[in-house]
A and B are shown apart, each in its own frame.
Chain A
Amino acid sequence: MESKVKMHTRDLDFFYGDFQALYNISIKFIENQVTALIGPSGCGKSTYLRCLNRMNDLIPGIWVKGEAMLDQKDIYDPSIDVVTLRRRVGMVFQKPNPFPKSIFENIAYGLKVNGVKDRGKITQRVEKSLKQAAIWDEVKDRLNESALSLSGGQQQRLCIARALAVEPDVLLMDEPASALDPIATQKIEELIKTLSSRLTIIIVTHNMQQAARVSDRTAFFYMGKLIEINDTDTLFTKPGLKQTEDYITGRFG
Chain B
Amino acid sequence: MKRQHIDKGVQSGFLLVALFSITALSLIMVFLFMEGLPILEHVNIKEFIFGKYWYPTDDPADFGILALIAGSVCVTLLSGLMAIPLGIMTAVYLAEIASPRVAEIVKPIVELMASLPSVVIGFFGMVVVAPFIQKLFNIPVGLNMFNASLMLAFMSIPTICSLSEDAIFSVPRALKEASFALGATHFETIVKVIIPASLSGICTAVILGLSRALGETMVVLMAAGGAAMMPTSIFDPVRPLPASIAAEMAEAPFRSEHYHALFAIGIVLFVFTFIFNLIADYISYKFRQVGEASL
Interface set of A (CB-CB < 8 Å, partner B) = 53, 55, 58, 60, 83-84, 86-87, 90-91, 93, 95-101, 109-110, 112-114, 148, 152, 155, 159, 162-163, 166, 179
* CB-based nearest B residue for A184: B295
Cβ-based interface call for B174 (8 A): yes
Q: Tell whether, in the assembled complex, residue B175 and residue A97 are in contact, meaning their CB atoms are under 8 Å apart.
A: yes
Pick the contact of A95 from B174, B197, B289 — CB < 8 Å? Answer: B174
Give min CB distance, B154 to chain A, whole Å: 32
Q: Tell whether, in the assembled complex, residue B293 and residue A113 are in contact, meaning their CB atoms are under 8 Å apart.
A: no
Q: Tell whether, in the assembled complex, residue B183 and residue A113 are in contact, meaning their CB atoms are under 8 Å apart.
A: yes
Question: 1/0 contact trace for B190-206 toward A, CB 8 Å?
Answer: 00110011000000000
Bound together, the chains give a CA A53 to CA B293 distance in angstroms of: 23
**Given A60-B100, A109-B192, A83 and B293 touching (CB < 8 A)?**
no
Cβ-based interface call for B294 (8 A): yes
The 5 closest A-B pairs by CB, nearest first: A87-B183, A110-B182, A97-B174, A152-B295, A91-B181
Q: Tell whether, in the assembled complex, residue B197 and residue A53 are in contact, meaning their CB atoms are under 8 Å apart.
A: no
Chain A residues within an 8 Å CB radius of B292: 95-97
Q: Tell whether, in the assembled complex, residue B182 and residue A163 are in contact, meaning their CB atoms are under 8 Å apart.
A: yes
Cβ-based interface call for B185 (8 A): yes
**Given A93-B178, A97-B172, A97-B178, A84 and B183 touching (CB < 8 A)?**
yes
Chain B residues within an 8 Å CB radius of A90: 181-182
Chain B residues within an 8 Å CB radius of A96: 292-293, 295
**Given A55-B180, A86-B182, A109-B179, A95 and B293 touching (CB < 8 A)?**
yes
Chain B residues within an 8 Å CB radius of A97: 172, 174-175, 177-178, 292-293
A-B contact pairs, 27 of them (CB 8 A): A53-B181, A55-B177, A55-B180, A58-B177, A86-B181, A86-B183, A90-B181, A90-B182, A91-B181, A93-B177, A97-B175, A97-B177, A97-B178, A99-B179, A99-B193, A100-B197, A109-B179, A110-B183, A110-B184, A113-B179, A113-B182, A113-B192, A114-B183, A152-B294, A163-B181, A163-B182, A166-B183
| Additional 4 contacts, C-beta under 8 A, given A96-B295, A100-B197, A101-B196 | A96-B292, A113-B188, A148-B291, A159-B178
B172, B179, B183: most-surrounded residue (chain A CB, <10 A):
B183
Question: 1/0 contact trace for B253-295 toward A, CB 8 Å?
Answer: 0000000000000000000000000000000000001111111
Count residues of B near A (Cβ-Cβ below 8 Å).
27
**Given A100-B196, A109-B192, A159-B178, A148 and B184 touching (CB < 8 A)?**
no
Question: 1/0 contact trace for B20-38 toward A, CB 8 Å?
Answer: 0000000000000000000
Bound together, the chains give a CA A43 to CA B193 distance in angstroms of: 32
Kindly count the residue-residue contacts between A and B in the assembled complex, taking CB atoms under 8 Å apart.
Answer: 87
Interface set of B (CB-CB < 8 Å, partner A) = 99-100, 172, 174-185, 188, 192-193, 196-197, 289-295
Bound together, the chains give a CA A163 to CA B292 distance in angstroms of: 17
Bound together, the chains give a CA A204 to CA B179 distance in angstroms of: 20
Give min CB distance, A101 to chain B, whole Å: 7
* CB-based nearest A residue for B173: A58
Q: Tell whether, in the assembled complex, residue B294 and residue A148 are in contact, meaning their CB atoms are under 8 Å apart.
A: yes
Give min CB distance, A21 to chain B, whole Å: 18
* CB-based nearest B residue for A172: B181
Chain A residues within an 8 Å CB radius of B294: 148, 152
* CB-based nearest B residue for A181: B295
**Given A93-B174, A97-B174, A109-B192, A55 and B181 touching (CB < 8 A)?**
yes
Chain A residues within an 8 Å CB radius of B295: 95-96, 152, 179
Bound together, the chains give a CA A60 to CA B185 distance in angstroms of: 17
Bound together, the chains give a CA A149 to CA B174 distance in angstroms of: 18
Bound together, the chains give a CA A102 to CA B178 distance in angstroms of: 15
Chain A residues within an 8 Å CB radius of B182: 86-87, 90, 109-110, 113-114, 162-163, 166
Chain A residues within an 8 Å CB radius of B192: 109, 112-113
Bound together, the chains give a CA A148 to CA B293 distance in angstroms of: 7
* CB-based nearest A residue for B287: A100
Give min CB distance, B10 to chain A, whole Å: 41
A60, A98, A99, A152: most-surrounded residue (chain B CB, <10 A):
A99
Bound together, the chains give a CA A2 to CA B99 distance in angstroms of: 48
Chain A residues within an 8 Å CB radius of B188: 113
Bound together, the chains give a CA A182 to CA B35 distance in angstroms of: 68
Chain A residues within an 8 Å CB radius of B178: 93, 97-99, 159, 162
Pick the contact of B175 from A86, A99, A163, A179 — CB < 8 Å? Answer: A99
Chain A residues within an 8 Å CB radius of B180: 55, 58, 86
Chain A residues within an 8 Å CB radius of B289: 100
Bound together, the chains give a CA A96 to CA B177 distance in angstroms of: 12
* CB-based nearest A residue for B99: A60
Bound together, the chains give a CA A109 to CA B181 distance in angstroms of: 11
